């Protein structure tokens, strides 16, 4: 029997899955999708599979993946974008499915290095204040018991203290390697990699998948690939490929070297490697041990820290953007050559590059001397740290040279100056060739699944962005399955034409909705500045006691999402990351307000560069790039509202262009139900209250 036939039988009503899967529901579309995925996994190729929320996409790809991994010697990698979905597949869905199939199959979860606690760092790091010290004690106790060392599994009682501490106790994704680590047997990351190499099914994430294409050994070889949340794969690849250098990055590397002065809180603290070298290396020298490092070598290294810091300051003064700055956003300028960035005098750049090269060579040489055969455990460990910091400086120098020269064909370069200081950035204009090289070419069959892959019913936009198509030698199939929910009964959609300034119009509408319904609202903006203004107004308009949360202003998206889920009548203002990837079922979210259609900023360097390429091909950038991208983001945003079969919700789009613009058709097609247009905010609020069956305030009845 074919794999597709086996899948259909298992998912049929009265079949084994129905009898043993606690959450089984009869879903013809799910069975059809599972069969389509099985065909491609068994015979090869690439499938773009769009499956609306509620269809049961996870089971549709897990079932054929598990069956193939069990019956053939073919490893399957399932990659998600969010770690929360990765954990859900590993901890809930796979155990339930294997139990229903009565199948014994080894599977592992593998994340990036920075998600695992580093035993060495956990031993030497010191808390900055009593909260962090208490958190460290809890972490050490947990790490001694936990078999995985996955920091996402640590139940912190103080989320903010843990967030600050996490980066200082995790494995270093840039510098940590088997060659520089002397605690391979204790390393949770190395243990997880070994287990992945022995398992036929690995649950990974997009970032690790992309990075493993460049760095051998991060993921074991695989035959079959399933990418869930595939609409985010391009962005993850772009983030992995992007290079950036900032004053902060240079300062962090210099801080690790230190000044050579002993720190008041102990030799492992702020004094850095130079102080520890002087404290450890000199006694070896005095004892006649050839691994000893001379005091002048160490002090020369420490002096170089100050020199590098001064030269870096001079460099970044030269790099300051010349144009005007926005009070909130700072400045962003694109550049195309080293001359455009720095002018004709490159001496200050060459000085910083020379420092990076010197630190990389010198620290590497010290590491070799301390890690020579016969070295003590303490010497080997110090040598490993020196190797790691040496690698940091080597990488820093390479990135700075690449960004300053701005010569790479097909790349775009820009500088920013704002709250995080001045930064240089560079990234490829398109990730298509990299997606083929790093991801798709590594598997016999690849399934790219998401709730949103088509723009205006067309998959060509996403396919081109990911380098798919006959012209690249990577043909693909597409399938699309709509929502199984009765959305016409579950949703109301209103286009609100407030006619006023965006922040004021949205704030007044949200306040009216809060007063009339008392329901949880997610308000999605396209710009931090408009979110800030709306937040200030809502603080005056909302009654006392009503919870108002604003992304970044009141905390990061993850922490705010958790607070929002626990409240009723709360209002969450969000940008960017809250447009997608968050799940607020039932009463945790009943109203979504979209402040504006989510078009990219026109002067974004990536948008500009893509537009130039399209114009060279005789295409209009707005209709071939800007609109399809905005439609996909719009679909993600409105997809936050109905997540379950019994959800109910109201969507309000505060952008009259949805009814009047020449490009409105694909946006209207993205709406699950036909919208009504309203121009009075009180009428919108009353319509929402009637839909929910809420009591209408007395003053509004009049």
- Indicate if 447 and 495 belong to the same structural domain: no
Residue 457 lies in a domain: no
Q: Which of 129, 348, 123, 393 is nearest to 253 (CA)?
A: 393
| Residue 597, number of CB atoms within 10 A of its CB | 21
Residue 75 lies in a domain: yes
- Indicate if 632 and 555 belong to the same structural domain: yes
Query: Which pLDDT band holds residue 187 (cuts at 50, 70, 90)?
Result: confident
Q: Tell me the CATH number at 564.
A: 3.40.50.300
Assign 488 to helix, strand or coil: helix
- Containing domain of residue 166, as a range? 119-170
User: Per residue in 460-511, pLDDT tens?
Assistant: 999 999 999 999 999 999 999 999 999 999 999 999 987 768 899 999 999 9
Pair 199, 94: CB distance under 8 Å: no
Residue 479 lies in a domain: no
Range 487-507 burial, b when 16+ CB lie within 10 A, else e: beebbbbbbbbbeeebbebbb
Determine the pLDDT at residue 280: 67
Of 428, 443, 469, which marks where a domain is finished? 428
Residue 472 lies in a domain: no
Position 532 pLDDT exceeds 50: yes
Burial class from Cβ neighbours inside 10 Å (0-12, 13-18, 19+) for residue 698 reads: exposed
In this prediction, residues 605-610 reach a mean pLDDT of 94
DSSP state of 260: S
Looking at the chain, the whole-number percentage of residues with pLDDT higher than 90 is 60
Range 112-149 burial, b when 16+ CB lie within 10 A, else e: bbbbbbbbbebebbebeeeebeebbebbeebbeeeebb
- Indicate if 130 and 189 belong to the same structural domain: no
Least confident interval from 355-364, 413-422, 562-571, 651-660: 413-422
In this prediction, residues 64-81 reach a mean pLDDT of 93
- Indicate if 305 and 362 belong to the same structural domain: yes
Residue 599 lies in a domain: yes
- Indicate if 7 and 34 belong to the same structural domain: yes
More confidently predicted of 571 and 217 = 571
Determine the pLDDT at residue 600: 92
- Indicate if 342 and 324 belong to the same structural domain: yes
Least confident interval from 8-17, 123-132, 144-153, 212-221: 123-132
Determine the pLDDT at residue 119: 84
Looking at the chain, the whole-number percentage of residues with pLDDT higher than 70 is 91
Determine the pLDDT at residue 288: 47
Residue 480 lies in a domain: no
* H helices, E strands: number in the chain: 31, 18
Position 696 pLDDT exceeds 80: no
- Indicate if 437 and 501 belong to the same structural domain: no
- Indicate if 447 and 496 belong to the same structural domain: no
Residue 468 lies in a domain: no
Determine the pLDDT at residue 326: 63
- Indicate if 564 and 606 belong to the same structural domain: yes
Position 524 pLDDT exceeds 50: yes
- Indicate if 228 and 250 belong to the same structural domain: no
Query: Which pLDDT band holds residue 173 (cuts at 50, 70, 90)?
Result: low
Position 266 pLDDT exceeds 50: no
Position 520 pLDDT exceeds 60: yes
| φ, ψ of residue 142 in degrees (nearest 5) | -65, -45
Ranges of beta strands (E only) in 281-432 are 331-335, 411-418, 421-428
What is the tally of structural domains in the chain?
A: 4
Determine the pLDDT at residue 583: 86
Residues 594, 670: Cα–Cα separation, whole Å: 14
Query: Which pLDDT band holds residue 414 (cuts at 50, 70, 90)?
Result: very high
End-to-end distance of the chain based on CA atoms, in angstroms?
Answer: 69
Position 186 pLDDT exceeds 50: yes
Least confident interval from 215-229, 370-384, 466-480: 370-384
Residue 474 lies in a domain: no
**Phi-psi region at 178: left, alpha or beta (left = phi > 0; alpha = psi -120 to 50):** alpha
Assign 689 to helix, strand or coil: helix
Position 409 pLDDT exceeds 60: yes
Query: Which pLDDT band holds residue 336 (cuts at 50, 70, 90)?
Result: very high
- Indicate if 281 and 153 belong to the same structural domain: no
CB half-sphere exposure, 81, CA atoms < 13 A? 19
pLDDT averaged over every residue in the chain: 87
Contacts of 572 (CB under 8 A, 6+ apart): 520, 521, 522, 523, 549, 550, 551, 560, 561, 564, 578
- Indicate if 600 and 641 belong to the same structural domain: yes
pTM of the model: 0.87
DSSP state of 576: G
Pair 453, 462: CB distance under 8 Å: yes
């Amino acid at each position: 029997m074919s794999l597709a036939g086996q899948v259909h039988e298992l998912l049929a009503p009265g079949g084994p899955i129905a009898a043993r899967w606690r959450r089984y529901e009869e879903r013809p579309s799910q069975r059809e999708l599972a069969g389509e995925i099985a065909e491609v996994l068994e015979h090869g190729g690439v499938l773009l599979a769009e499956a609306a929320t509620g269809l049961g996409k996870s089971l549709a790809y897990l079932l054929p993946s598990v069956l193939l991994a069990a019956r053939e010697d073919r490893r399957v990698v399932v990659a998600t974008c969010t770690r929360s979905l990765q954990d859900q597949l590993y901890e809930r869905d796979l155990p339930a499915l294997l139990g229903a199939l009565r199948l014994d199959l080894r599977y592992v979860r593998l994340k990036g290095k920075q998600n695992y606690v580093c035993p060495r760092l956990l031993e030497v790091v010191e808390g900055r204040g009593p909260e962090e010290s208490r958190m460290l004690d809890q972490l050490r106790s947990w790490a001694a018991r936990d078999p995985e060392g996955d920091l996402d599994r640590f139940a912190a009682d103080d989320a903010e203290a843990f967030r600050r501490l996490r980066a200082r106790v995790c494995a270093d994704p840039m510098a940590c390697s088997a060659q520089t680590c002397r605690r391979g047997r204790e390393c949770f990351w190395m243990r997880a990699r070994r287990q992945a190499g022995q398992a036929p099914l690995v649950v990974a994430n997009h970032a690790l998948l992309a990075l493993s294409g460049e760095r051998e050994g991060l993921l074991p070889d695989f035959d079959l690939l399933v990418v869930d949340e595939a609409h985010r794969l391009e962005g993850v690849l772009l983030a992995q490929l992007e290079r950036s250098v900032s004053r902060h990055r240079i300062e962090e590397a210099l801080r690790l070297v230190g000044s050579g002065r002993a720190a008041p809180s102990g030799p492992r603290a702020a004094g850095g490697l130079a102080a520890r070298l002087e404290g450890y290396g000199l006694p070896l020298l005095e004892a006649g041990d050839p691994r000893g490092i001379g005091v002048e070598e160490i002090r020369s290294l420490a002096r170089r820290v100050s020199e590098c810091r001064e030269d870096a300051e001079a460099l970044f003064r030269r790099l300051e953007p010349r144009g005007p700055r926005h009070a909130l956003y700072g400045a962003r300028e694109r550049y195309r050559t080293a001359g455009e960035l720095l002018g004709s005098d490159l001496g200050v750049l060459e000085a910083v590059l020379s420092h990076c090269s010197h630190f990389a060579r010198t620290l590497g040489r010290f590491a070799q001397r301390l890690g020579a055969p016969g070295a003590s455990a303490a010497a080997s460990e110090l040598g490993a740290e020196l190797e790691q910091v040496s690698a940091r400086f080597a990488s820093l120098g390479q990135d700075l040279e690449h960004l300053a020269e701005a010569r790479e064909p097909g790349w775009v370069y820009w500088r920013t100056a704002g709250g995080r200081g001045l930064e240089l950035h560079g990234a490829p204009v398109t990730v298509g060739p990299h997606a083929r090289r790093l991801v798709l070419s590594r598997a016999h069959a690849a399934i790219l699944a998401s709730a949103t892959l088509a723009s205006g019913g067309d998959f060509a936009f996403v396919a081109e962005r990911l380098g798919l198509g006959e012209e690249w030698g990577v043909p693909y199939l597409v399938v699309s399955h709509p929502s199984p929910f009765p959305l016409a009964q579950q949703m109301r959609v209103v286009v609100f034409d407030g006619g006023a300034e965006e922040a004021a119009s949205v704030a007044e509408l949200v306040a009216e909705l809060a007063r009339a319904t008392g329901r949880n609202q997610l308000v999605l903006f396209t710009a931090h500045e408009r979110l800030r203004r709306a937040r200030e107004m809502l603080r005056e308009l909302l009654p006392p006691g009503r919870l108002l949360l604003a992304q970044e202003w009141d905390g990061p998206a993850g922490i705010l999402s958790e607070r929002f889920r626990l409240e009723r009548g709360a209002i969450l203002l969000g940008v960017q990351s809250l447009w997608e990837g968050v799940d607020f079922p039932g009463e945790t979210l009943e109203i979504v307000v979209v402040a504006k259609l989510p078009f990219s900023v026109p002067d974004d360097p990536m948008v500009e560069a893509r537009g130039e390429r399209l114009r060279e091909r005789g295409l209009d950038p707005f209709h071939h790039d800007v609109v399809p991208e905005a439609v996909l983001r719009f679909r993600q945003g409105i997809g936050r509202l109905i997540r379950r079969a019994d959800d109910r919700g109201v969507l309000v789009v505060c952008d009259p262009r949805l009814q009047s613009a020449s490009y409105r058709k694909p946006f209207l097609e993205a709406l699950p139900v036909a919208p009504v247009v309203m121009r009075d905010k009180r009428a919108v609020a009353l319509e929402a209250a009637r839909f929910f069956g809420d009591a209408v305030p007395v003053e509004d009845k009049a």
